Structure 1
Amino acid sequence: MRPVRASEQHRWLFDDWHPDLGASLRDDFEAREREVDLARERAVTQIIAEEGLPGVTALAQVAKLPWAVGSALARSGGEFDMEALSLLDSEDTSLVQFSDGFARMRRGREARMIRQWVAQFAGRPVAQARLLLTLDDVQDAWAMLIDLPEEVDSAYWAEFAPYGRGADFPHASEAARQLLRHGRAAMAVDALSLYARRDAVEVDVVVDALNEFGNAEDPEVGRVSEYDLTTLLDYLRLHSVDESVLARLEWKFLPVLHDESRAKSLHRLVARDPASFVQLVEYAFKPSVEGNESEPPRVDPELAANAYRLLREWRMVPGTNEDGVVEQEKLESWLHDVRALLSETGHLELGELQIGEVFAHSPSESDGTFPARAVRNVLEAAPNDRFERGFIIGLHNKRGVTSRGMTDGGKQEYDLAQQYDAWAARVEATHPRTAGALRSVADSYRDEGRRNDEEARRFLEGMDL
């Protein structure tokens, strides 16, 4: 049953990272690796003796680890440098891996030998580039690239990978620059994310990479995860990058940032800049003014969804300072400008409802009253009830998802109603409209609590199975 050809007899050694040699070396990994290397070297030596180099390359084409075949050939001591290396630009990926394994083992750590080989493969840019990629010291490779044709440079950066360079790789920023220059923005972002965790990349390169990523079709886009993007955005925040730059990047990547807290700069921009808020409302909603004969501009559905999501997640009341206090003058100035712009676009009603919803996320005053006094003053002076309606909607929405036992009834809702009643009682004398809105929320929670009590009663009586 034993195969006749040596290349078939020893293939099993090159189909597994850790072939079972029968030796009991499980507790000594290095000794086991030496035994495997020696067994592979002996196998290749026998294949060369019986079948020549074609037998070795044939094995590389069918083995699961073609690089291991090339590495074993390099250790065997035969003079096959040019024959093995000439396969570096082969169209067969197995032979490329075989040749790469040979080159990495044969040259050791010597840039001098790589330089000699590169010179011998003049006119074959892919082979030259792949030889340079075997160098551990990227500076040696980059120094050689300067004197080589542009085709070699392009081939080198088309396959360059930042992985396996060590935790203290000092050239991550320069590598990312070159990857960007050669149209590999996804790989650049992935590399920068890897080394940003060690505070080892330049801020301007991170900004450039994030600006470039996603602007063109990129086959490597799958390398970039939400974690990579949030890592780099956090890195920019840590290094005090201009907030307008951060806001622009957060807007760009909002569809993949599933945690609403990761777009803080964007939220602050909307709360600070009336035009930004109005533009979001325009993207998300059609004009509500009746009789407007002008056809509203068509908005890309993805852009509209992005704007709608941001409005739903917006939590910062305009006029809020760095200490979390809502300043009356700043809030009123923002509202004045926003209303003027919304009137021009035909979105005043919708916009005021959205503003009312964000009022629900107002901070409390130092005396425990809610919402902030500046917000209460705006609610009292409003010329219509849209702020109030939005405020009530926002209060309900911010509760989020709830859970309870089958027999718990409406205790959660009664507790909330009591809280809203208490807030209403404390502001009723000075801000009756606000108190009315708070009491309406309290009443709705009491009604919901009674419904949950009834469901619990039906369950206990066996009427609701």
Structure 2
Amino acid sequence: MINFFYGLPFDKRSWDLLITFGDELENLYWQTINIHWFNKDDCEKICVKLLASNRPYAALNLLVSLYDDEITQLLPSILLVDILEKAASVDPYTEKSLPDTNRNNYYIEEIFDVLDKADDIEDNKLAFLELIHFPLLVHSIRQPKLLYQQLSKDPIFFVEILKCVYKSEDDRDESVEIDRATLNYAKLGYKLLESWHQVPGLKEDGTVDLEQLRNWVSQARTASQESGRGKIADIKIGHILAYAPKSSDGIWPDIAVREIIEEFGSNEMQEGIANGVFNKRGVVTSAIGEGGIQERQLVETYSSYAMLVGDSYPRTAAMLRSIANRYNSSAHREDIRADLED
């Protein structure tokens, strides 16, 4: 009987007839039908049926044949949200009659682009969708921008992510059972923190607002200390401060960051900044026999910064000198490597 319905036109008349044969046959139909052509006016109904049959990727494949303005005209935003939520919980390779699994990531990005332009979906809902699709978005053109913005605006959210990733320093949550879902959230949270580079208080003109940054750091430190994660919070705060811009005086870091370093006096925060400086440099290529020339240039740069801020910002100057010393050690290692290459 199901083959009979496979052979009928894929339209409302066939579906109305299908209903008369009972739920079992109708469910089997929507769980297995391979869609090649459809009437655009039926798009919403088809997507609802596919979602009810746990086939979000089939719905995604359906939507990519439409232009963005057609999607917004034919489908309510909340249905697009449902598709993305369901897609995060389903393995596309388990779906039946799915024509192309290789382009699923592209299809998901397309739906995010449509939702970005929607005016009836709140940012916190989009941020949640970014979180459940984070492994995809972090490597895509459409970055998880709302998650990054939320981290930079809300220090409590930052601490909640910390709590997902790191155990408390006083073992107060030692008895909490760690299941697969908890591990998955920990992995997501770790990747989120590592890829986040938006300094709290950063303004459109490229400067950092001291009051906004101070309030964010103060609240983040208080909440993290209360949860038993004060030290790791300071390290992670330092890591993000490493991405601060230069100040208007041409010296790095921005004056607002220097003020924070002096005010809070955290060795862990300074360690985080130094590590962040090294990490953001990334993989470095050098010519054969070049040695530590590039590293010595950085030694000179950070030593100069330290000298210029030393009178007003002694802790900052000490941190900058430590960065210069680490690059000096790297320069010596590169010299040795160059000698061995010769």
TMscore range, shorter length = 0.7 to 0.9
Distance in 2 of aligned mates of 1:130 and 1:381:
71
**Match for 2:66: what amino acid?**
Y
Distance in 2 of aligned mates of 1:164 and 1:433:
67
Distance in 1 of aligned mates of 2:115 and 2:219:
31
Counterpart in 2 of 1:297?
A: 176
Tell me: CA distance 1:165–1:340, structure 2 relative to 1, closer, same or farther (3 Å): same
Distance in 2 of aligned mates of 1:369 and 1:195:
51
- Residue of 79, 89, 98 corresponding to 1:215: 89
Provide the alpha-carbon RMSD of the alignment: 2.9
Shift in Å, 1:429: 3.5
Matching of residue 246 in structure 1 with residue 246 in structure 2 = no
Matches within 5 A, 1:367-382: 367-382=249-264
**Identity among equivalent pairs (%):** 27
Shift in Å, 1:275: 2.2
Counterpart in 1 of 2:30?
A: 157
Matches within 5 A, 1:13-412: 124=1, 126-132=2-8, 134-135=9-10, 138-142=11-15, 149-164=22-37, 169=40, 171-195=42-66, 200-201=71-72, 202=75, 203-215=77-89, 219-220=94-95, 223=101, 225-239=104-118, 241-259=121-139, 262-289=143-170, 292=171, 295-299=174-178, 300-412=182-294
Distance in 1 of aligned mates of 2:290 and 2:122:
50
Q: Is the 8 A contact 1:179 1:187 kept in 2?
A: yes
Give structure 2 stretches of 5+ with no counterpart.
Answer: none
Distance in 2 of aligned mates of 1:366 and 1:246:
35
Give structure 1 stretches of 5+ with no counterpart.
Answer: 1-123, 461-465
Between 1 and 2, higher relative CO (CA 8 Å, sep ≥ 6) is seen in 2
Shift in Å, 1:396: 0.8
Distance in 2 of aligned mates of 1:246 and 1:423:
41
Q: Is the 8 A contact 1:380 1:432 kept in 2?
A: yes
Distance in 1 of aligned mates of 2:68 and 2:164:
36
Q: Is the 8 A contact 2:6 2:33 kept in 1?
A: no
* TM-score of the two chains, using structure 1 as the length reference: 0.63
Mean Cα displacement is larger for which, 299-308 or 237-246?
A: 237-246
Tell me: CA distance 1:159–1:418, structure 2 relative to 1, closer, same or farther (3 Å): same
Cα deviation code 1:25-61 (max 9, x no counterpart): xxxxxxxxxxxxxxxxxxxxxxxxxxxxxxxxxxxxx
* TM-score of the two chains, using structure 2 as the length reference: 0.84
Cα deviation code 1:71-99 (max 9, x no counterpart): xxxxxxxxxxxxxxxxxxxxxxxxxxxxx
Distance in 2 of aligned mates of 1:174 and 1:366:
57
Counterpart in 2 of 1:15?
A: none
**Match for 2:47: what amino acid?**
A
- Residue of 323, 329, 332 corresponding to 1:441: 323
Tell me: CA distance 1:325–1:196, structure 2 relative to 1, closer, same or farther (3 Å): farther
Distance in 2 of aligned mates of 1:442 and 1:187:
55
Q: Is the 8 A contact 1:129 1:153 kept in 2?
A: no
Counterpart in 2 of 1:452?
A: 334
Q: Is the 8 A contact 1:414 1:445 kept in 2?
A: yes
Q: Is the 8 A contact 1:172 1:195 kept in 2?
A: no
Mean Cα displacement is larger for which, 386-395 or 311-320?
A: 311-320
Shift in Å, 1:395: 0.6
Distance in 2 of aligned mates of 1:436 and 1:295:
37
Local SS of the residue matching 1:200 = helix
Mean Cα displacement is larger for which, 402-411 or 321-330?
A: 321-330
Distance in 1 of aligned mates of 2:330 and 2:230:
32
Shift in Å, 1:263: 1.5
Shift in Å, 1:164: 4.8
Number of residue pairs the alignment of both structures matches: 329
Tell me: CA distance 1:371–1:251, structure 2 relative to 1, closer, same or farther (3 Å): same
Determine which structure has more spread, i.e. the larger CA radius of gyration. Answer: 1
